[in-house]
Amino acid sequence: EAQVTQNPRYLITVTGKKLTVTCSQNMNHEYMSWYRQDPGLGLRQIYYSMNVEVTDKGDVPEGYKVSRKEKRNFPLILESPSPNQTSLYFCASWTGTDGYTFGSGTRLTVV
Amino acid sequence: KNEVEQSPQNLTAQEGEFITINCSYSVGISALHWLQQHPGGGIVSLFMLSSGKKKHGRLIATINIQEKHSSLHITASHPRDSAVYICELIIQGAQKLVFGQGTRLTINP
């Protein structure tokens, strides 16, 4: 089944403790992207990647890192999480022509 | 001024009604994307448009590039169509994305 898999689905962590949210797709898509969704602000793009070793900033990249060492994986790294990064995160991949496929989301709480 | 505006923000209708959700934008785009977010939070891609019209089942999406406007229509609406519908712009010349605030649709039986 074609899908984008995000893990974990839920995470509560403490300020400053590094964490990684994984994203993996099995569709051989070149384009992958991370978003966060916050009440009243809607969806906002964090980072995206056009292909292996090609990444670029979206609208809200501060406090996040990404890597794209292989086509299927696009992890989101929070080196030193802060409470303002409490949010619902989505990963998505795209062929470049048809619609995106989204992961199920990761609800992150930073206390 | 926001680059993208969706209307209405909230819409409640009775089962069977014809639904229209609008998305107007002020920037050049290479494509426009309609998303559906279910109450459980999952997001589904409905349509990606760069011109004209697309249809899938009871859903129809249209775009007018000159007028910078897109509409999402739902025919014979059903309670399972209740969701938030989000318009997403893919900005011309870049892979930058801009999202509308979403339209919360509730279809009552």
How do residues A60-79 score in pLDDT, each as one tens digit?
Answer: 999 999 999 999 999 999 99
Beta pairing, strands A10-13 & A31-38: unpaired
| pLDDT at position B1 over 60 | no
Per-residue pLDDT, A64: 98
Taking a C-beta distance cutoff of 8 angstroms, is the pair B73, B26 a contact? no
Taking a C-beta distance cutoff of 8 angstroms, is the pair A6, A102 a contact? no
Per-residue pLDDT, A41: 87
In this prediction, residues A49-54 reach a mean pLDDT of: 92
Interface of B with A (CB under 8 A): 33, 35, 41-48, 86, 88, 95-102
A45: chain B residues, CB-CB within 8 Å: 96-97, 99
Q: CA nearest B99 in A: which residue?
A: A43
Per DSSP, the three-state class of A21 is: strand
| pLDDT at position B95 over 70 | no
In this prediction, residues B39-55 reach a mean pLDDT of: 90
Taking a C-beta distance cutoff of 8 angstroms, is the pair B46, B56 a contact? yes
In this prediction, residues B93-105 reach a mean pLDDT of: 84
B6 to each of A2, A13, A81, B10, B104, how far by Cα in Å?
30, 35, 32, 10, 11
